[in-house]
Amino acid sequence: MAEHGTRCALGWIVLGIGMASVGSCQVEAQRPAASNVQAEQPALSPRAATLATMRLTSPAFAEGAPIPKKYTGEGEDVSPPLEWSAVPEGTQQLALICDDPDAPRKEPWVHWVLYKIPPDTKGLPEALPRTARLEHPPGAVQGKNSWPDGENLGYRGPMPPKGHGPHRYFFTLYALDQLLEAEPGLTKEELIRKMSGHVLGVGRCMGTYERNN
């Protein structure tokens, strides 16, 4: 999530078999009630009997551990490296969303939207450029995060309100059964609608970040 003055945010994505969080926003620093959580479901592909589980990790931080400052708004604010495996058979493209559910608003604060990733891609290097189209992975494009226009393309790192406690940042990878017909610049919600009915598998990892000073 990002902090603009005293602002912050919240949201969750719930999949058919699990839960991926989302979020960040702009309000005073207090945690929302559970009733504020909104659910969205990119539907399972009819080609899949069950939702496959991919393994998604980062060499930069362990599951559930703090994200290094380098990858946050207090550091270099570059995207962390990611690695994945067990992509299900029949996958035509991959997509990735990163978001934070631990900020006081209903809507998620989105940190990264990336899609049209080739299915044979095994991961992402750190510090991907904030450009609409990427050379590596070839053909991949980036969407909009929750920052203001002009600052909202590609990855933006954690920047929760000071004293708000640790926030969780969920990186969720989707395996899709078809090629997306989409230009760069989709929002998270637009991407979820595009993916709905085409999800073969999901992988997820989570890191945390807290600002105390």
CATH code of the domain in which 47 resides: 3.90.280.10
Average pLDDT, the chain: 84
Please state, in angstroms and as integers, the Cα–Cα distance from residue 30 to each residue in 41, 67, 129, 202, following that order.
Answer: 27, 22, 33, 31
Count of other CB atoms within 10 angstroms of residue 65 = 12
pLDDT (mean) for 23-47: 53
Say yes or no to pLDDT of 17 above 70. no
For the stretch 169-184, pLDDT in tens is 999 999 999 999 999 9
Q: Is residue 180 included in any domain, yes or no?
A: yes
Q: Is residue 33 included in any domain, yes or no?
A: no
Residue matched to tokens 């067990």: 86
Number of folded domains in the chain? 1
Say yes or no to pLDDT of 21 above 60. no
pLDDT (mean) for 11-21: 37
Q: Is residue 25 included in any domain, yes or no?
A: no
Helices in the chain by DSSP H: which ranges? 188-195
Q: Is residue 34 included in any domain, yes or no?
A: no
Residue matched to tokens 């551990």: 65
Q: Is residue 104 included in any domain, yes or no?
A: no
Q: Is residue 8 included in any domain, yes or no?
A: no
Q: Is residue 204 included in any domain, yes or no?
A: yes
Least confident residue range of 16-25, 106-115, 169-178, 180-189? 16-25
Say yes or no to pLDDT of 52 above 60. yes
Annotate 5-45 with DSSP letters as a single string: TT--EEEEEE-SS-EEEEEEESS-S-PPPGGG------PBP
Cα(198)–Cα(4) distance, rounded to whole angstroms? Answer: 36
For the stretch 181-204, pLDDT in tens is 999 999 999 999 999 999 999 999
Pairing mode, strands 199-209 and 52-53: parallel
Least confident residue range of 32-41, 60-69, 130-139? 32-41
Q: Is residue 91 included in any domain, yes or no?
A: yes
- Domain of 172 in residue numbering reads as 42-99+111-209
Residues 187 and 113: beta-carbon distance below 8 Å? yes
SS3 content of the chain, % helix, strand, coil (to 5): 5, 35, 60
